Amino acid sequence: MTLGTAGLVSIQSVLDAAATLRGFVLRTPCLPSPELSERVGVPVHLKCENLQVGGAFKARGAYTFLSRRSQAERSRGVVTYSSGNHGRAVALAARALGSRATVVVPVDIPPVKVKALVALDAEVVTEGTTSLERQRRAEALARASGSLIIPPFDDPDIIAGQGTVGLEIVEDVPDVAAVVAPVGGGGLISGVALAVKARRPRARVVGVEPVGAASMRASLDAGAPVTLSRVETVADGLKPVRPGDLTFAHVRQSVDDVVTVSDDEILDAVVFGFRACKLVLEPSGAAGVAALLARRLSLSRGPVVVVLSGGNVEPSLYGEWLRREGQAG
């Protein structure tokens, strides 16, 4: 791990993570989207992390974190807390590096995400509905077992791993004018902003949150991390009640704006992804598309790259969403 100024993650740490990740994660495509380009009037590309190992960008951070620990630490086992995708990423990384994983998940986790964890031989523990409830249970389990705890977002190695998404964006679209990414706890947007600004300082980086779980937007407005008393959104991967201290610092320094979208707009984007782009997106992964379709961004030029952060969707719910009537087309 290499920290830069003000205790933030350095671009060298992201570059080191990219080297470590070769052979474990996929170099996901950054595909032009004629459909979105026509809608918003500037060229749009889609960074398809929904096609990543484990179905989401999370594999990058989890493997980076665990690979930077000693074999002695890994041998004690690892514990994490997750709405699903980070837990699956930790289980994948643990299996690759010879460790065992315990994942604390919410009681309302989609069954498809539980099945994925079980298939990777992870121990699954359910606890509450909020990220703080899961965190407390995971920390208690780690203390009792002596296991290593892997946080989902607020850690320099997690941020460095997620930052490799930004490196690939700039390499594949060198003239990128704006990057749009979902915001949950802030690990993805922090890493992406760090990498993009280091390589293309004039590019805008914009985060997108659900209206019902906009903890980063509330924290930016307050000038410090705040804890929401309640979160409610269809985007289960974007429901932390509080951003991390480190991710908040990164967002405040490097992210140009954080906008919000409604659940209806997110589901319209899920449908648009399938019908127009032939891509399967979970609601969290469709948040950036929702912001474009709902005209939340001021786009005077392009190209724009939208990060599709995940595609792990419950089949029964997905079928319901695809039958929606509306403007998704």
DSSP secondary structure string, 213-265?
G-HHHHHHHHTS----S----S-GGG--SS--HHHHHHHHHH--EEEEE-HHH
Per the omega criterion (within 30 degrees of 0), is the bond before 303 cis? Answer: yes
Q: Which amino acid is at 3?
A: L
Q: By the 8 A CB rule, do 89 and 54 touch? A: yes
**Tokens (6 digits) for 287:** 């948040």
User: Which has the closest alpha carbon to 147: 113, 193, 100?
Assistant: 100
Pick the catalytic residue: 83, 215, 219, 309? 309
75 is a catalytic site residue: no
Q: By the 8 A CB rule, do 147 and 141 touch? A: yes
58 is a catalytic site residue: yes
Q: By the 8 A CB rule, do 79 and 138 touch? A: yes
Could you give the 3-state DSSP secondary structure of residue 149?
Answer: strand
Give how far Cα 221 sits from Cα of 125, 217, 255, 266, 270, Å: 35, 6, 14, 23, 29
**Tokens (6 digits) for 63:** 């493997």
Pick the catalytic residue: 47, 58, 113, 239? 58
**Tokens (6 digits) for 159:** 């941020």
**Tokens (6 digits) for 179:** 């990057």
Could you give the 3-state DSSP secondary structure of residue 3?
Answer: strand
How far apart (Å, rounded) are the C-alpha atoms in residues 307 and 295? 17
Query: Using N-to-C axis directions, what is the helix angle for 156-172 and 245-254, rounded to 10°?
Result: 30
- Tokens 């709902």 locate to 294
By annotation, the residues acting in catalysis are: 58, 309
